[in-house]
Amino acid sequence: MTAYEPVIGLEIHVQLSTRTKMFCGCKLSFNDPPNIHTCPTCLGLPGALPVVNSRAIHFGIMIGLALGCDIAERSLFHRKNYFYPDLPKGYQISQYDVPLCRGGRLGDVRIHRVHLEEDAAKLNHLGASGRIHGSDRSWVDFNRGGTPLVEIVTEPDLRSPEQAREWPALLRTTLRQLGVSDVNMEEGSLRVDANVSVRPVGSTELGTKTELKNMNSFRFLERGVRAEISRQIALLEQGKPVMQETLHYDPATDTLTALRSKEEAHDYRYFPEPDLVPILATEEMLAAARADMPAELPAERAARYEGELGLNADTARLFAFRTELGDYFERALAAAGSDGEQRQVDPVELSNWIPQLIERIGSDSDPAGSNVAPESLATLATMVKAKEVSRDAAREVLTRLVEEGGDPRAIVEREGLGALTAEDDGLGELVDRAIAADPAAAEQVRSGNMKAIGPLVGYVMRETKGRADGGEITRLIRERLAG
Ligand code: ADP
Ligand code: MG
Ligand code: ZN
């Protein structure tokens, strides 16, 4: 049976949080009464002229820089023509063959292009069951019409449903940190379309793709992509072709239904927008965009955690994508000891305790709001590293810290959780007893089979109720069985 590899490319629409619309002075709004933020321009009335929003260009350049794109010195607006009730002009002003930004990369996904355009109006479809104004017609709310958008198009570089969930989360954190958008999927300020194909593993050609429209949460995006990959593989295994079409994913039933196929695809008859001049991205505009960028973006933060602090890639990403975790981690890293001296906390050891912490306070919670002060977590990590407390005992200390806060040293003292040592606590004697209790295992270790050491270590762990350090026990056993 052929093994298949998924190939996924994303097209992401982001509403920019400017004060006014893309080509007129109407205010941006969300959830206001319908059709109160309109004017001749965004209603497409004859004779009204667009004027480009310079703040939207500024945000577009910031996004391009954050994604490592080339910013075009000169880019163009085009008219994308189609008829639909949400588009009063009969065309959308967008960018076509000369976009604002090209190339670039975020994490392990290359960016194809980033361009500016305007959003369409919002259609409220209410069926017979959900009537408004006593009818079952559709209603158009032009408040949204003309909202500034950037469209970010990736190369087909994603390879799994999980990545189709994780990568947009990195993008969202990045955009949020730039302050250019609310990036809220439920409210529609971040909208993701996924292009999906599969191909035999090892093949370098792209398979026929389908497009999943407008997934409204990262979870559904992952599930929709997974369902579509399975559907395509099943087709190919039956010897049937994948049709190029646009699909809608229904999370309730985990099924995909066709919206439109490529044969009915629009010919948009793009042509240059005659009412707007080209965007000239000057050195001053680039400098202004750079000046508004945060000092460190999430992808850079992840790279620093991995490269400079030695964190594993998953933890580095977790802390970088969830800024509250990264911030907490850094506060703990910087924490001074109770004696006022700068304490050296091992970053890797510390990093392992933050997932442990959020596991206890709720995986979506911000540890800054918990009972555990960053200093306390740093102290705990340091005690583990120094083998003053065993890993098992430290987990118990953490549970106490989450419940009642306070100082880990005090808890260790009060609960008698300090690590047992060979000299003070008779750990050596226990090791002797373990060896005596299992001569067969001891003999194996003596003859060099280190896997046999497990039961001996386990014996001491049990006897000490986890308070002895595993590494220390192992060291003592090997010492006794050496030679
Ligand atoms: P279209 O002309 O149908 O819009 P594009 O070439 O512009 O297609 O690509 C649109 C998006 O689809 C991009 O994100 C791209 O990476 C992705 N894409 C293109 N071809 C494939 C494919 N065969 N499989 C998966 N994604 C693809
Ligand atoms: Mg496209
Ligand atoms: Zn307007």
What is the C-alpha to C-alpha distance for residues 126 and 60, in angstroms, rounded to an integer? 35
pLDDT at 348 over 90: yes
pLDDT tens per residue across span 47-92: 999 999 999 999 999 999 999 999 999 999 999 999 999 999 999 9
pLDDT at 19 over 90: yes
CA of 293 to the centre of ligand 3 (A): 29
Which of 34-38, 130-134, 368-372 shows the lowest mean pLDDT across its residues? 130-134
Average pLDDT in the chain: 92
3-class SS of residue 32: coil
- Where is pLDDT greater, at 283 or 451? 283
pLDDT tens per residue across span 143-190: 999 999 999 999 999 999 999 999 999 999 999 999 999 999 999 999
What is the C-alpha to C-alpha distance for residues 159 and 174, in angstroms, rounded to an integer? 21
Token pair listed for 363: 């995986």
What is the C-alpha to C-alpha distance for residues 453 and 441, in angstroms, rounded to an integer? 7
Residue 430 pLDDT grade (very low, low, confident, very high; cuts 50, 70, 90): confident
pLDDT tens per residue across span 439-450: 999 999 988 888
What is the C-alpha to C-alpha distance for residues 140 and 87, in angstroms, rounded to an integer? 10
Which pLDDT belongs to residue 69? 98
User: In ligand 1, which atom is closest to the CA atom of 10?
Assistant: 14
DSSP state of 275: T
pLDDT tens per residue across span 227-262: 999 999 999 999 999 999 999 999 999 999 998 665
CA-nearest residue for atom 14, ligand 1, is 9
User: In ligand 1, which atom is closest to the CA atom of 155?
Assistant: 16
User: In ligand 1, which atom is closest to the CA atom of 206?
Assistant: 23
pLDDT at 422 over 80: no
Ligand 1 neighbour 244 (Cβ under 6 A)? no
Which pLDDT belongs to residue 427? 84
**H-state helical runs in 238-373:** 283-291, 298-307, 313-321, 323-334, 347-361
Ligand 1 neighbour 232 (Cβ under 6 A)? no
Ligand 1 neighbour 156 (Cβ under 6 A)? yes
CA-nearest residue for atom 24, ligand 1, is 197
Rg (CA), the chain: 30
pLDDT tens per residue across span 95-133: 999 999 999 999 999 999 999 999 999 998 765 555 555
Residue 265 pLDDT grade (very low, low, confident, very high; cuts 50, 70, 90): low
Ligand 1 neighbour 106 (Cβ under 6 A)? no
Which pLDDT belongs to residue 124? 86
pLDDT at 336 over 70: no
What is the C-alpha to C-alpha distance for residues 418 and 284, in angstroms, rounded to an integer? 61
What is the C-alpha to C-alpha distance for residues 21 and 44, in angstroms, rounded to an integer? 13
Tell me which residue has tokens 């409220």: 124
pLDDT at 93 over 90: yes
